Structure 1
């Protein structure tokens, strides 16, 4: 079978896949914010802290909307609420770290989400922080950290989509990730067959 025939067969097979879906809404209608959030609560997401330091100040924020964009060049995307203090600070500094938290770091996640109302210096004092190549702070107890330079920010709805190029990494062994699932903290371990 030629490459063209294989691509056509794959396209035909894909066209036959039937997805279970909600009945189509009227033209121009959207799902409500509550329905959208409820649907996404069924997806497991990593819990990260975005941290920055520089001329704009030092700030951090808990973020579960982070994903890879591409590996050439290594780029990630983080979605940060425009109302977040950290949003403007990250943009002003142009650098950040993305710190994937370990399962035992729930309290740190809550602190950087604003629980307890602590100041930024008090939040950073609750854990051990160092710096990587960019100069942005990274959490030494995090499962994994990406050290990044901001390359673009796009405003969409209530959030800024911050694209960041990865310049360095730090990793800790023997830790399990902190995740968020059905509006609660969870953790994950590799599935065994």
Structure 2
């Protein structure tokens, strides 16, 4: 089986955040989809080991911020390659707060959604949150970042805890040289 076929699926790149009390967390996510129109619901998938998953489960709330193609790798890395248990991802950056109290970064964001978790469905290493949309804001203009743009233009990497991670052994290709993406 050639798991590189999974690269043909399209995804956006989002900052998914939550708040439990005074604790803020956020992560980079490419698994956010709209699942119903009336009322509007979104599904958000997170690895159960992530700090933001812990906050979302405790608070029953998440925010989703749609990143623009202008977002640099350094900004994406702030939310994507460090644990919120060890690093305050919202320290020293401009952020807004939605009515639920969930944060969202102000820079490089086109839209933000405030979501109430209605259902959490365990799926192996991940949790699928089915969420009711309670607020939606347009915050900027530009092109939404896709996962393909992140990989091909920015040359971004995918951590093994991401739902879209494909191990080099399962890709049907040789493992890429050290420092290249390979997913």
TM-score, with normalisation over the residues of structure 1?
Answer: 0.70
Alignment of 1:119-134 (within 5 A): 119-121=86-88, 123-125=89-91, 127-134=93-100
Counterparts of 2:128 and 2:95, CA distance in 1: 25
Provide the secondary structure at the position in 2 that maps to 1:53: strand
Deviation at 1:104, TM superposition (A): 1.5
Counterparts of 1:70 and 1:170, CA distance in 2: 18
Counterparts of 1:176 and 1:133, CA distance in 2: 26
Counterparts of 1:127 and 1:175, CA distance in 2: 21
Q: Which residue of 2 aligns with 1:169?
A: 136
Task: Kindly report the root-mean-square deviation, in angstroms, between the aligned alpha carbons of the 2 structures.
Answer: 2.4
Contact 1:98 1:147 in 2 (8 A): yes
Q: How many residues align?
A: 152
Q: Which residue of 2 aligns with 1:190?
A: none
Give a deviation string over 1:47-93, Cα, whole Å, max 9, x none: 00111112382111110011001021111001101121211111101
Contact 2:51 2:84 in 1 (8 A): no
1:184 pairs, out of 146, 151, 155, with 151
TM-score, with normalisation over the residues of structure 2?
Answer: 0.74
Counterparts of 1:172 and 1:183, CA distance in 2: 21
Structure index of larger Rg:
1
Runs (4+) of structure 1 exceeding 3 A deviation are 115-120
Structure 1 unaligned regions, length at least 5: 1-30, 188-193
Are residues 1:79 and 2:45 paired? yes
